[in-house]
Structure 1
Amino acid sequence: MGHDQPPGPHHGGDPSKGRRQDRKRLSCPVASWGAGTGAEAGEHEAPQGVVVIEALKDRYTIVAPALSGSGATTDTGSPLTVDDLAAQVLGAVNAADLDAFHLAGHSLGATVAAAVAGKHPERVRSLFLHAGWAVTDAWQEFQFDLWQRLLRADKDLLSRVLQVTAIGAGTLADRGIEDFEQGVAGFNELFDVKGMARQSELNTRVDITAVRIAGRLRLRVPAWATNGAPAGLDSVA
């Protein structure tokens, strides 16, 4: 799928300074469907992408592509595929002149990162995946369909549902009602209804089984896969 405007990467640190010092480089695919996964700060809550960038920017040059359905990236408007988003990640790292890179991803971004690593293991120095999945099962398909229905009805309803279904029990136990309301406000600010609906629709039909198997045979770098509510992840290492 061609896109009118390439995914605009959010850079942490000074890329030119990083090149002079030969610093390590991290490419992080970011998908905006989940709880604060963008790379731009909001008024109410810092997205996870911002938190990651702030934590690593002094040690790494960070490229955080805004994949279709998030940020200002534009495309043809056709239904999204994992291959489309993987191509956007590669487009962003190529534009940043990175031959090899560390790769991380959250949720759909983790699925995309696994696909990139499976197809181009020679370019991936290490791989970190959080709360992604290789194949959408019936439970996930039902859940992602519910997200789309809630988006069409009222974005605020989805933001409230995600407060109690997409966040770990330990975090929820320490929250007060004001924390929940702040979380809802942050989600409402982050979520673009049209873009999130497109990514949620892709979520219902994810299947990177073939890429995962091929990548497992060829990928010879450190790889970590961690689980987070609500999606489970099959390791691609």
Structure 2
Amino acid sequence: MTGLSTVVKGSGPALLLVHGAGGSIQANYGPILGTLTQHFTVIAPDLPGSGGSPKAAGALDLEQLADDLVDVAVKAGHESFFVSGYSMGCAVAVTAAVRHPERVRGLVLSTPFTKIDAATKVKIDKWKVLLDGPRAALARYILSLMCSKAYLARLSPAQAEGFAELIGASVPTGSSAHIDLILRTDLSDALPQVTQPTLVIGATGDQLLSPELGKEVSDLVPGAKYADLPCGHAIALESAMPWARLITDYLKSV
């Protein structure tokens, strides 16, 4: 896949960002981009069918996607770089690290999974079904999954409806292919092969992925460090500054 819409901004060591399924760089990393670009040269491509990137012609292939994103960073002028993956983007980040160890200097994996469990599959299957229905129902469902119960409880009905309208208006055209990739992902063999310094960040209020999935990833990556934040899956929405600090402090330390 070529022609991915990419923003390159900032100064310092190169940092490749990989967003999640049904998201985009702006949706998943937007609130922390300003902070990251103060410390890193951020390379931020939208995955196929997200942001300004065209949809893939067929099913997404995890290895090809990892190769393509590494190629984006190299063509941006960086022989080596850190990679920060979010949600499904963690699978791409891990695959890039294993396939291109000479390029990837270190990893930050936020709300990752080795493979989804049965409880998460039920939620993702419903998400996929709702893609074919009214946008309002899909948007409310996504909002209920992405935010923690505590965050949702603080929203007024008008605020919740406003968020849902925003989600409904920005559903990527590639969402179905992204979801299919989630359902096919299994990093059981790849994670033990990661040789780079790795930080895994979990979200204790995650309602999309079981929080245990992140800890499992941390256990499988040799020498990985683990931290968590008291928020839902949408870390950038609920805990932007603490998330930015974790990423920045860790990568500057390695």
TM-score of the superposed pair, with normalisation by structure 2: 0.76
Instruction: Tell me if structure 2 keeps the 8 A contact 1:107–1:130.
Output: yes
* CA deviation profile, 1:202-225 (whole Å, cap 9, x unmatched): 11111122211222xxx1424233
1:81 aligns with 2:61: yes
Q: 1:151 aligns with which of 127, 131, 134?
A: 131
The aligned length equals 213
Aligned residue in 2 for 1:166? 146
Q: Is the 8 A contact 1:31 1:66 kept in 2?
A: no
From the superposition, tell whether residues 205 and 190 of structure 1 become closer, same or farther in structure 2 (CA, over 3 Å): same
Q: Give the Cα separation in 2 of the matches to 1:7 and 1:191.
A: 17
Q: Identity over aligned residues, as a percent?
A: 22
RMSD: 2.0
Deviations 1:186-233 (A, max 9, x none): 2112212x4111111111111122211222xxx142423324432132
Name the CA shift for 1:32/1:72 in 2 (closer, same or farther; >3 Å): farther
2-structure distance, mates of 1:77, 1:143? 26
Q: Which residue of 1 aligns with 2:24?
A: 38
- Alpha-carbon distance in structure 1 between the residues aligned to 2:70 and 2:31: 23
Per-residue deviation, 1:75: 5.7
Instruction: After TM superposition, give the deviation of residue 138 of structure 1 in Å.
Output: 2.5
| Shift of residue 76, structure 1, vs aligned partner | 4.8
Q: Which amino acid aligns with 2:20?
A: A
Task: Give the equivalent residue in structure 2 for 1:205.
Answer: 184
CA–CA distance in structure 2, aligned partners of residues 172 and 83 of structure 1? 36
Taking the TM superposition and a 5 Å limit, the aligned residue runs for 1:1-237 are: 3=1, 5-13=2-10, 18=11, 23-33=12-22, 37-40=23-26, 47-74=27-54, 76-192=56-172, 194-215=173-194, 219-227=195-203, 228-231=206-209, 232-233=213-214, 234-235=217-218, 236=221, 237=224
**Distance across 2 between alignment mates of 1:151 and 1:75:** 16
Deviation by residue 1:162-206 (Cα, 9 ceiling, x = unmatched): 2222211221222111221121122112212x4111111111111
Give me the whole-angstrom Cα distance separating, in 2, the residues matched to 1:84 and 1:190.
Answer: 26
TM-score normalised per structure 1:
0.81
The DSSP-based 3-state class of the residue aligned with 2:131 is helix
Deviations along 1:42-98, one digit per CA (max 9) or x if unpaired, are: xxxxx2321121221122111111111312323652111221321221121111121
Counterparts of 1:185 and 1:88 in 2: how far apart (Å)? Answer: 32
Amino acid at match of 1:197: S
Runs of 5+ in structure 1 lacking a partner?
Answer: 41-46
Task: Kindly provide the CA deviation profile for residues 115-148 of structure 1, in whole angstroms up to 9, marking residues without a partner as x.
Answer: 2123223322321111121112222222222111
Ranges in structure 2 where 5+ consecutive residues have no aligned partner: 225-254
